[in-house]
A and B are shown apart, each in its own frame.
Chain A
Amino acid sequence: MKTNKKDVLFWVIPVFAVVIIFQAVVLVNNALGKQTTIITTKEATKTAVVDKVIEDDLVLKLVTPDKAWVVGKTYKVTLKASAVNQKLIDAMDLYVKYDQLAMTVSGLVQGSGLPKPASSKISTKTGLVVANLYIPGTSSYELDKGMEKDLITFNVVPKKAGDFSFQIDTGKVSPDSVTMLVEAKTAKVIPFAAEALIVKVSK
């Protein structure tokens, strides 16, 4: 019986010691863990902001001054660009997708300060408005920080009622209908955020 008591003591003491150490380690880890979380969260927020800036150097959007469209009337749609930071551009390929069964597009013109398109087309086959705007000579097209500029404008006559969209194409219609604005000197394609235009057409 005496021997049994000693045996119990032999394994109880180490177990007790291990439990104490484990508890202490958990206590310290908890305290350190909380501090790490604070820093990580802070860094993650910073990174997210920076990433967003890198992703969207430009904002391209399609706008129309008229809110409600009526079948048979003519409306203007403009592709506008604004830059997060100043950008110099040497060339742009602009592709706008529209519903060719619901809209008739005509009168494509470039914005002020831009040359006549090297090539342009309004395709009723695929529903694409195409404008290749290439800046000749040694000059470049300047997009100032925060300033909004018109790149192209075209006329639209709705043929039927309903909700329709105009979208900046990035290769969905065909492999080479990729809208791109290329930075002067670096020849890099500038990342942009695209805003589509949705119009409600009534009879």
Chain B
Amino acid sequence: MKAQQSKLLVLVVLLVSSMIASLILTQQSQELRRGAAGGFRQYFEPTSVKIKVAETIKVKSMVEAGKEFDSASVIICYPDYIEKITDVTWGANFSTKESLLSDLELIGHEGERCAILDSVIGQEAGAPKSNGIVELATITLKGLKAGSGGSIKVIKDVVTYKNSVGETRPIVGEVSGSFDPDITKNTERYSTVGTLAITVEDAGKKYVRGACDAAKGTYTCTESDTGTMDLATCQATCETTKKYTRGTCNYSTGEYNCTESGTGTMTLDECKKADSNCYLGYAKTTNCNTTTGDWECQKDATSTVSLDKCKAQTGCDIVNSESYVLRFKIVYPGVRATGECAEEYKKLSLIVEAPDGKTLALKDVVAVKIDGETKDTGEDKPLQVYKVEVPLKDFNYSDNLSVVVKGVKHLGVRFGVDAQKACYNKTVGQLSKLTKDSKSPLFDFTGMPLLAGDVGGPNSGLPDDFINAVDYTLIKNAQNCAKDKCPPQTDLNGDCAVNSADSVFLTNSLSEKCGGMY
């Protein structure tokens, strides 16, 4: 019996607390409904901001009004880590003459800054009354010192303040208008008010720029109260005033020897930088790789032979290769024997096609410069000839082949016949009689230079197998860059400079490209 009574008691308590909770929630509901339907709800846009010291940000004080009104006053208090609010732009509905921002010394809010914003519609006849979602004012906030956890709070209830003569007066934030037809003017308080969380972060250390650090190539920077830059901005790259003259090549380091000189024209890095005439020296060993036909080479400080040339020296041939060997010669538009920045031209991508349509794709195939061999293609100076020799692994075809050759900044060109001079459009190639050694025929593709200009694409920025307006603009943007600072991809003729000549090679490719799509 006792147990049942205590159970009943628990249930009664549960029922009573449910009813109280229900009452509270229903009251809140009614309050919100009043705000939406007939009352006034004040809020901020946005509801939280984060700024740095000395930075400013604009926030809006808004009201959602369920009926027309003439003026609205909002009492706010804000933390002391933002500057005193002085910059307010009144909402479009309100008079700039009659609306007013005033500081308030509120009792009980010591240590905070408080103010009242009175947004007032003009008194002129026919001035539209406000209704719906209305912007009362845009307030400019400025970070004074680092701080967080504070907010702009709107005081909803009656508070007291000290007026200019030290008297204590009551004040309340409210909305005014003719809400009741029987009363000329009456007021209503906000049903709900908003808050705006504010965080002010330290602006960080500021730096003053000093002299150029020749070794690092950046400005030296010192922290200072009068500084205006952050460290990253301050430490921009700079040109050292020291200039160098290039000497002989140091084949043990692959860099030029440089001396500081009054008549020098290059920075140290520019001066030292390796090119096709200065590189690490290699000497061949006695080991010949009969599969690739390349000598094995090792670094040799006394040698003036580059690695590619070392490997390609005569006397090491492909012998009894399991694969047929494709050999051909090519030229690149504008790339001459003197092209110092043509090193990257060595890398090619190939697609070899058999008469039955089967293909073999090869990447990073190395083209080797043939010393002393050039080709006159009608340009003002002859072009450097490069040789490719590559085994066609697991591709058991020796006749009627064609090959698409693509350079690092060149469109793929299809070669199907020896001594080709124009686009090859036949279905089946005529490259035949390949053997499995270095005696395989050396096809001559130098009559048709590769098509230069595939510099970058619109999406990834990387070459996209098209030459178009994006490539032209990238070259144009790079024109007249300082030597050795040009984006390598835009230097189409390998002369270490980007200029109108590169644009010409690109536009030539537009009119010469194969494929016959249009």
Contacts and interface: CB of A to CB of B under 8 A. Distances in A.
Interface residues of B, number: 42
Contacts of A119: 507, 510-511
Contact of A32 (B4, B32, B474, B477): B32
Residue with the highest number of chain B CB atoms closer than 10 Å, among A28, A38, A135: A28
A187 B511 contact: no
A32 B32 CA distance: 7
B203 interface: no
Contacts of B236: none
Contact of B14 (A14, A123, A176): A14
Contact of B477 (A25, A126, A185): A185
B133 A9 contact: no
Nearest to A18: B18
Contacts of A174: 517-518
Contacts of B26: 24, 27-28
A155 B347 CA distance: 46
B517 A91 contact: no
Contacts of A18: 18
B100 interface: no
Nearest to A181: B469
Contacts of B29: 24, 27-28, 30-31
Interface in B1-42: 4, 7-8, 11-12, 14-15, 18-19, 21-23, 25-26, 28-29, 32-33, 36, 41
A31 B36 contact: yes
B473 A184 contact: yes
A187 B507 contact: no
Interface residues of A, number: 54
A189 interface: yes
A180 B477 CA distance: 17
B472 interface: yes
B469 A28 contact: no
Contacts of A177: 517-518
A20 B473 contact: no
B456 interface: yes
B503 interface: yes
Contacts of A24: 21-23, 25-26, 29
A182 B476 CA distance: 11
A6 B8 contact: yes
Contact of B25 (A27, A34, A121, A180): A27
Given A32-B32, A187-B477, A189-B470, A173 B518 contact: yes
B518 A21 contact: no
Interface in A132-168: 132, 134-136, 138
A123 B517 CA distance: 9
19 contacts: A6-B8, A9-B11, A20-B18, A24-B29, A27-B26, A38-B133, A90-B469, A91-B472, A126-B517, A130-B518, A132-B507, A136-B500, A173-B517, A176-B517, A178-B466, A182-B469, A182-B470, A185-B477, A187-B473
